[in-house]
Structure 1
Amino acid sequence: MDLQEMLDQAATGDVHVEEGWGQGRATFGGLVGGLLVSAMLPRVPEAASLRSLTVNFVAPVAPGAAQAEVDVLRSGKSATQVLATLRQEGAPVAVALGAFGAPRESAISVAATAEAPQLAAPETIEPFPYIAGMTPDFFQHLEMRLADGGFPYSGASTSHMDGWMRFRQAPPTFDIRHFVTLVDCWPPAVVQMLSELKPGSSMTWTLEIVDDVTAEPDTHWAYSVRTDTAEGGYAHTDARVWHPDGRLVAISRQTVAVFG
């Protein structure tokens, strides 16, 4: 079963999480987020688009059967708030709150202040390799090309990453479900500061969609992440995502647990 089939399944409430999307002992968080959004969408008015998504990774999501439960907390004239819970063997493994909103008239318009980084063309940068048994399983599906910053576990003095991302094999279409799945592909920015392999995982992830993410399925998206602070085994990061045409389309924030 490929990504598209899993996303389509999740919209029905029952999904089989496939092998090959692992990240340590858990399933890749981006896929978890994409499945939860897929479950939400049938319950949301067509005119409303995803504005903000907050995901809490409660427990490792394992390959196998999962159930997505959706509760529409409120649906008004413009805004709809939706809670989705992914369960395995009856226990919650991930919870997401989605805020959807239809466009409305407003006198306020503020252009994005964050400028896209000046990156070398993606074709000139080698992607992170996928090496079975050494790199995360999901690397075989997602492509990251690091333009600035350090590689994971390289003992770097930096804590930022700039680069490009896309699917290695383009899906048949590309919509908000695919975008959510893709955006979380980068490793925690702080693990580049470690000189040996130590686990690190996202505890919470908030994604704010600020512009249309419609694009060709094989589009390279520009990504830039900075570490705001890290102390006591927890790091807090702030990232931006740009469409190749230069539009800022998303803001991504994470709280990361680092075991090392």
Structure 2
Amino acid sequence: MTGTHPFDDAVHLDAIDAEVWRGRTHPEWANMVGPFGGITAAIMVRAIDVHPDRIGEPLALTVNFAAPVADGAFDLSLRVVRTNRTNQHWYVELSQEGAVKATATAVFATARDSWADTEARPPNAPPPEAIAPTGMGHVVLWADLYDMRFVEGPLPGADGLPDSSSTTTLWARDKAQRPVDYPALAAVCDVFYPRVFLRRGVIMPAGTISLTTYFLADRHQLDAVGGDFVLATAHAHRFSGGYFDQSAQVWTREGALLATTHQIVYFKG
């Protein structure tokens, strides 16, 4: 480790050649099985961002988690699929000892002056200073790196009861108030525990299979956030056949929509 922030340690990559980068899992980002999916997504964004052929900023990212990432080193293979006038398409593959553990497709784009509007509205929430901090560190280690303040839908306790709603809304920020950049935004988009925990009132085996994030904020908006809280809200639409979907939004304190995210999750129980 470099002695820097655990996030920067986790997304640190060394160039092997022009198209391959090597990283290493970080113990503080451990999840139930393997590393936190959000940090894997962040590493994918970071790998493209530092590539010399990259143009623009992240617009869309889909990560497919094929198998658990084991503790230790991993390689990222990157390929530019196509570069257009305003957007660039990427394919990324994460492997360990020749076995593919995750794949990703990404679109980076250059922003243009255009008409703009936001139809969505942020959820009603008191300011984070009015809410006592809680967390999920007793369940997953990575959660200890965030300051979490739940507005609704906290993690069920030992005596939890089933809930008729799958919605969780919380304020979240890095505990060390590391400024939000695109990799950090990719990570915080996965800050939620599985929705099935809330509906069933109990913690059970579950894991994300595919995670898509749409980055709606430009760099100026991210710079304005700094290390402040963001307001994150998530809900599921349907639980069936051992899977459920999740849709989420991430907002600034001032009501700017930074990102939306969607995932499909496996659960057993």
Unaligned runs of at least 5 residues, structure 1: none
What secondary structure is seen at the aligned counterpart in 1 of 2:139?
Answer: coil
Q: Which of 186, 210, 213 is matched with 1:207 structurally?
A: 213
Which residue of structure 1 lines up, in the alignment, with residue 70 of structure 2? 62
TM-score by length of 1: 0.90
**Does structure 2 conserve the Cα–Cα contact (< 8 Å) formed by 1:166 and 1:221?**
yes
**1:184 CA displacement:** 0.8
Which residue of structure 2 lines up, in the alignment, with residue 141 of structure 1? 145
Q: Which of 75, 85, 95 is matched with 1:87 structurally?
A: 95
Which residue of structure 1 lines up, in the alignment, with residue 231 of structure 2? 222
Q: Which of 91, 100, 110 is matched with 1:102 structurally?
A: 110
C-alpha distance in 2 between matches for 1:148 and 1:121: 13
What secondary structure is seen at the aligned counterpart in 1 of 2:120?
Answer: coil
Any idea what the Cα deviations from partners look like across 1:39-88, whole Å, max 9, x if unmatched? 11133666511110101111111221111111111112211001111111
Verify: 1:7 aligned to 2:11, yes or no.
yes
**Does structure 2 conserve the Cα–Cα contact (< 8 Å) formed by 1:61 and 1:93?**
yes
**Does structure 2 conserve the Cα–Cα contact (< 8 Å) formed by 1:150 and 1:158?**
no
Q: Which amino acid aligns with 2:231?
A: A
What secondary structure is seen at the aligned counterpart in 2 of 1:193?
Answer: helix
Q: Which amino acid aligns with 2:142?
A: F
**Does structure 1 conserve the Cα–Cα contact (< 8 Å) formed by 2:215 and 2:260?**
yes
Verify: 1:164 aligned to 2:171, yes or no.
yes
Q: Which of 80, 83, 87 is matched with 1:72 structurally?
A: 80
Unaligned runs of at least 5 residues, structure 2: none
Moved more, 58-67 or 43-52: 43-52
Which residue of structure 1 lines up, in the alignment, with residue 244 of structure 2? 235
C-alpha distance in 1 between matches for 2:112 and 2:135: 44
- The percentage of aligned residue pairs carrying the same residue is 25
Q: Which of 14, 26, 48 is matched with 1:18 structurally?
A: 26
What secondary structure is seen at the aligned counterpart in 1 of 2:261?
Answer: strand
Alpha carbons of structure 1 residues 215 and 152: separation in structure 2 relative to 1, 3 Å: farther
Verify: 1:198 aligned to 2:204, yes or no.
yes
C-alpha distance in 1 between matches for 2:55 and 2:71: 34
**Does structure 1 conserve the Cα–Cα contact (< 8 Å) formed by 2:156 and 2:202?**
no
**Does structure 2 conserve the Cα–Cα contact (< 8 Å) formed by 1:81 and 1:97?**
yes
**1:157 CA displacement:** 2.2
**Does structure 1 conserve the Cα–Cα contact (< 8 Å) formed by 2:225 and 2:252?**
no
What secondary structure is seen at the aligned counterpart in 1 of 2:50?
Answer: helix
C-alpha distance in 2 between matches for 1:141 and 1:241: 18
Question: Structure 2 matches for 1:111-190, cutoff 5 A?
Answer: 111-129=117-135, 131=137, 134-152=138-156, 154=160, 155-171=162-178, 173-190=179-196
**Does structure 2 conserve the Cα–Cα contact (< 8 Å) formed by 1:10 and 1:35?**
no
C-alpha distance in 1 between matches for 2:46 and 2:156: 30
What secondary structure is seen at the aligned counterpart in 2 of 1:8?
Answer: coil
Q: Which amino acid aligns with 1:157?
A: S
**1:195 CA displacement:** 3.2
TM-score by length of 2: 0.87
C-alpha distance in 2 between matches for 1:46 and 1:58: 25
**Does structure 2 conserve the Cα–Cα contact (< 8 Å) formed by 1:176 and 1:214?**
no
C-alpha distance in 2 between matches for 1:47 and 1:88: 28
C-alpha distance in 1 between matches for 2:176 and 2:14: 21
**Does structure 1 conserve the Cα–Cα contact (< 8 Å) formed by 2:135 and 2:149?**
no
Which residue of structure 2 lines up, in the alignment, with residue 249 of structure 1? 258
